[in-house]
Amino acid sequence: MTEYVILLPGDESVWESASAEHRQAMYAKHGEFAKLLEERGHKIAGGNELQNSRAAHTVRMSDGGVQITDGPYAESVEQVTGYYVVDTDDLDDLLQVCGVLAGAEGAVEVRGTVSHTGDA
């Protein structure tokens, strides 16, 4: 099986101001997504909703050593708000199932991971 990461971009300010009903509707879409994955033979290997990017820390190396700043790596309207890790042998079908989230989120990004198993 190949492992894919599904990145969920979004505008955090929209989520923060969303009504309880809107949030429940979004969580229901994620439940529908998970159910479809299982029914179609894909395996969720991990994932989670992420804390607000305000809680992020960015670590850089400089001549003076490690430099740590609070906040996201890049200032932007959209941030990665969550992710799924899915194992599957059928990328085409996985992309179709991702349409459930794309319809609710606006878009999602699906990327394969690089395995370094056995590398020394």
Residue 56 belongs to some domain of the structure: yes
* Residue 9 token pair: 């971009």
> Buried b / exposed e across 35-56, counting CB within 10 Å, b at 16+?
ebbeeeebeeeebeebeebeee
Q: What is residue 90's predicted lDDT score, i.e. its pLDDT?
A: 97
Comparing 75 with 59, the larger pLDDT belongs to: 59
Residue 52 belongs to some domain of the structure: yes
Output the pTM of the full model. 0.84
pLDDT in tens, 31-68: 999 999 999 999 999 999 999 988 998 888 988 899 88
Express as a percent the part of the chain with pLDDT over 90.
62
CB 4: neighbour CB atoms within 10 A? 20
The count of domains in the chain is 1
d(CA 20, CA 9): 20
Whether the per-residue pLDDT at 108 is higher than 80: the answer is yes
Decide if 79 contacts 10 (C-beta within 8 A): yes
Residue 99 belongs to some domain of the structure: yes
Look up the CATH number of the domain holding residue 89: 3.30.70.1060
Residue 117 belongs to some domain of the structure: no
Confidence tier at 118 by pLDDT (50, 70, 90):
low
Residue 118 belongs to some domain of the structure: no
What would the DSSP string read from start to end of 34-77?
HHHHHHTT-EEEEEEEPPPGGG-EEEEEETTEEEEEES-SS--S
Residue 20 belongs to some domain of the structure: yes
Residue 120 belongs to some domain of the structure: no
Pick from 103, 110, 118, 105: nearest CA to 42: 110
Residue 6 belongs to some domain of the structure: yes
Q: Which domain holds residue 81?
A: 2-112
pLDDT in tens, 92-105: 999 999 999 998 87
Angle at 36 between CA 112 and CA 81, to 5 degrees: 55
